Structure 1
Amino acid sequence: MLETTVQPGTNIVTLDYHGGLTVEDEQRMRQVLDEVLRNHDSVRMLAVIGPVDVSAVEPKAVWMDLKAAGYLKRADRLAVVSDGAWVSKLAEWTAELAHVSVRTFPADQRTSALAWITQP
């Protein structure tokens, strides 16, 4: 499940992902990001990645997620919160490929991650 929320009045979007991933999850994420980008020049993202259930991931949703990487062009910062080593490596690649400021945090440091993305 991918839950996408916005801190009211800001360009800060939280992507809270755990379990599976559906097309509907991806569509909601895109709607939220589009709305934020209509009101702001950029977006700051807090991605919280929990355990993934690969058997509950829809292939079309993965494709949509890959295509959503274009949103990173308008991202100021991306804070990634997870205990998964693979997530940290993916965050490194994202920083290099998308030229966005990315920082990873352990799962118990969500508050620190949010503080980092809210800094000017």
Structure 2
Amino acid sequence: MLETTVQPGTNIVTIDYQGGLSVEDEQRMRQVLDEVIRDHGSVRMLAVMGKIDFSEISPKAAWINLKAAGYLKKLDRLAVVTDAAWAAKISEWTAELVHITVRTFPADQRADALAWIT
């Protein structure tokens, strides 16, 4: 499940992801991101990654997610909150490949991550 929320009046988007991923989850995320970018020109994102069930990820949702890479150009900052070493490594690669400011925080430091992107 992917839940996408916005702090009212800001360009701060929180994405909470755990379990599987559906096409509807991806479509909602894209809609929120489009609205924030339209209103603010950029996004500051807090990505909270819990336990992911790869067997519950829809192939079509995964494809939509890959196509969402264009949103990376509109990110001012990305804070990734996770205890998964693989997710932290992907965040590191993302920062290097697209030259955005990314910082990874352990799961128990969500408040610090939010403060950092704010």
Q: Classify the TM-score, shorter chain.
A: over 0.9
Structure 2 runs not aligned, ≥5 long: none
Structure-1 separation of matches of 2:41 and 2:23: 26
Tell me the SS of whatever aligns to 1:9.
Answer: coil
Kindly tell me the number of residue pairs found equivalent between the two proteins: 118
Tell me the SS of whatever aligns to 1:77.
Answer: strand
2:112 match: 112
Counterpart residue type for residue 61 of structure 1: A
CA-to-aligned-CA distance 1:37-56 (integer Å, 9 cap, x gap): 11002100000000001111
Structure 1 runs not aligned, ≥5 long: none
CA-to-aligned-CA distance 1:82-115 (integer Å, 9 cap, x gap): 0000011000011011111000000000000000
User: Once structures 1 and 2 are overlaid, which stretch shifts more, 24-33 or 63-72?
Assistant: 63-72
2:3 match: 3
1:90 match: 90
Name the TM-score, length of structure 2 as normaliser. Answer: 0.99
Write the mapping of 1:37-116 to structure 2, written as runs, cut at 5 A: 37-116=37-116
Structure-2 separation of matches of 1:28 and 1:45: 15
